[in-house]
Amino acid sequence: MSDTDTGAALPRRRIDIAPALTPLLVAALAAPFIGSPSTFLTLTVAGLAMGMMIFTMASGLTLVFGLMDVLNFGHGAFISLGAYVATLVLLPLAAWSQADSLGLNLGVLLLALLAAGVVCAAAGFVFERVLIVPVYGQHLKQILVTIGGAIVAEQLLYALFGPQQIPLPLPTAFRGSIILGDAAIEKYRIVATFIGLLVFAAQILILDRTKIGLLIRAGVENREMVEALGYRIDRLFVGVFMAGSGLAGLGGVLWAFYREQVHASMGGELLVLTFIVIIVGGLGSVGGCFTGAVLVALIANYAGFLAPKLALVSNILLMVVVLLWRPRGLYPVSGR
Partner 1 sequence: MMILSGDAPRSRALSALLVVIVLALALAPFLFPGAKPLNVAANICIYALLVASYDLLLGYTGIVSFAHVMFFGVGAYGVAIALYGLGPGWGALALGVAAALGISVALALAIGLFSLRVQTIFFAMVTLAVAYAFNVLASQLSGLTGGEDGRSFQVPFVLQPGFRLFDGALFGVRITGRVLSYYLVLAVCAALFLVLLRIVNSPFGRVLQAIRENPFRAEALGYRIVFHRTLATCLSAAGATAAGALSALWLHYTGPDTALSFSIQVDVLVIVVIGGMGSMYGAVAGAALFILAQNYLQALMGELSSAAAQAGLPILPGLFHPDRWLLWLGLMFILAVYFVPTGVVGKLRGTEERTQ
Partner 2 sequence: MSANLSLQGVHTHIGRYHILQGVDFVAPEGETTMLLGRNGAGKTTALRTIMGLWRASRGRIMLGDQPLAALATPDIARAGVAYVPETMAVFSDLTVKENLVLAARDGPLDDVRLEWIFGFFPALRKFWLSRAGGLSGGQKQMLSIARAIVEPRRLLLIDEPTKGLAPAIIGALIECLKEIKRTGATILLVEQNFRVAQEVGDHVRVMDGGRIVHQGLMAPLAADSQLQSRLLGLSLDSHQ
What residues line the site for partner 2 (CB under 8 A)?
1-4, 6, 9-14, 211, 214-215, 217-218, 221-222, 224-233, 333-335
Q: Which of these ranges, 51-59, 173-181, 276-284, 289-297, lies near partner 1 under the rule CB under 8 A? A: 276-284
Query: Quick check: 59 and 281 in contact, CB under 8 A?
Result: no
Q: Cβ closer to partner 1: 74 or 117?
A: 74
Q: How far is the CB of 97 from partner 2 (least distance, A)?
A: 43
Residue 300 binds partner 1, judged by CB under 8 A = no
Q: What are phi and psi of 118, to 5 degrees?
A: -65, -45
Q: For residue 247, which of 266, 222, 274 has the smallest C-alpha distance?
A: 274
Q: Who contacts 33 (Cβ-Cβ below 8 Å, separation ≥6)?
A: 302, 306
Residue type, 59: S
Measured distance CA(226)–CA(215) in Å, rounded = 7
Q: Which of these ranges, 23-31, 173-181, 267-275, 288-296, lies near partner 1 under the rule CB under 8 A? A: 267-275
100 binds, among partner 1, partner 2, none (CB under 5 to 8 A by kind): none
Q: Who contacts 260 (Cβ-Cβ below 8 Å, separation ≥6)?
A: 167, 168, 169, 170
Residue 141 binds partner 1, judged by CB under 8 A = yes
Residue 315 binds partner 1, judged by CB under 8 A = yes
Q: How close are the terminal C-alpha atoms of the chain, in Å?
A: 32
CA gyration radius, the chain: 21
Residue 184 is inside which H or E element, if any?
Answer: strand 183-186
DSSP 319: H
Q: How far is the CB of 4 from partner 2 (least distance, A)?
A: 6
- Contact mark string toward partner 1, 92..131, x via CB under 8 A: ---------------------------------------x
Residues in the site for partner 1, rule: CB under 8 A?
71, 131, 134-135, 139-141, 143-145, 147-149, 151-152, 154-156, 158-160, 163, 268, 272, 275-276, 279, 283, 309, 312-313, 315-316, 319-320, 323-324, 327-328
